[in-house]
């Protein structure tokens, strides 16, 4: 782990047990989700695949939320112990621009384990109608 100097002052002793297995963003459960990792496969000039791992400290927003892939407050995040249940969301990263990152089942799953999430509004895109243009003043 290559964390900023003083990371231990913020989060205590750091356990360095996390290893990347597939591409994505991962909460580090062994560090109470105060650290997260970005994993990415690269190919060296010899054609060998190498898994790269970058580790980050959440800092002023204390935990990484595996549901939103962002640092936030614990009450707004899926519980750290449930983070592994949401690792599958990493497969959605390359799904393309026309696919929503979360589906209804994902939201229901997160709401079931996150008490405050059920009260949050769910974004439902609506097809917008073109706004009528105001009449132009007559200058004659």
- Identify which of 27-31, 118-122, 126-130 has the greatest average pLDDT: 27-31
| 60-110 tens-digit pLDDT | 779 999 999 999 999 999 999 999 999 999 998 988 888 788 888 998 899
Domain coordinates in residue numbering, the chain:
7-120
Answer yes or no: are the C-beta atoms of 77 and 65 closer than 8 Å: yes
- How far apart CA 35 and CA 63 sit, in angstroms, is 7
User: What's the pLDDT band for 46 if we cut at 50, 70, 90?
Assistant: very high
Q: Once rounded to an integer, what is the mean pLDDT over residues 30-36?
A: 96
Cα-flanking dihedrals φ and ψ of residue 136, to 5°? Answer: -80, 140
Q: The pTM is what? A: 0.77
- Tell me the mean pLDDT in the region 13-30: 95
Query: Left (φ > 0), alpha (ψ -120 to 50) or beta: where does 90 sit?
Result: alpha
Question: What's the average model confidence in pLDDT over 45-66?
Answer: 93
- Model confidence at 123: pLDDT above 60: no
| pLDDT of 98 | 80
Residue 19 has pLDDT above 80, yes or no: yes
According to the model, what pLDDT value does residue 1 have? Answer: 86
Higher pLDDT among residues 120 and 112, named by residue: 112
Question: What residues have CB less than 8 Å from 36, skipping those under 6 apart?
Answer: 25, 26, 27, 28, 55, 56, 58, 64, 71
- Residue 37 is predicted with a pLDDT of 98
């Amino acid at each position: 782990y290559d964390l900023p100097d003083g990371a231990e002052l913020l989060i205590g002793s750091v356990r360095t047990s996390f290893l990347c297995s597939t591409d994505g963003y991962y909460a580090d459960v062994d560090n109470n989700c105060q650290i997260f990792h970005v994993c990415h496969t690269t190919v060296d000039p010899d054609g060998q695949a190498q898994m790269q791992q970058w580790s980050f400290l959440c800092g002023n927003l204390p935990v990484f939320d595996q549901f939103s892939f962002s640092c936030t407050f614990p009450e707004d995040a899926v519980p750290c112990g449930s983070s592994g249940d949401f690792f599958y969301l990493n497969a959605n990263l390359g799904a393309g621009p026309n696919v929503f990152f979360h589906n209804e089942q994902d939201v229901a799953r997160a709401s079931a384990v996150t008490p405050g999430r059920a009260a949050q509004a769910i974004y439902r895109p609506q097809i917008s109608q073109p706004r009528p243009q105001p009449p132009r003043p007559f200058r004659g």
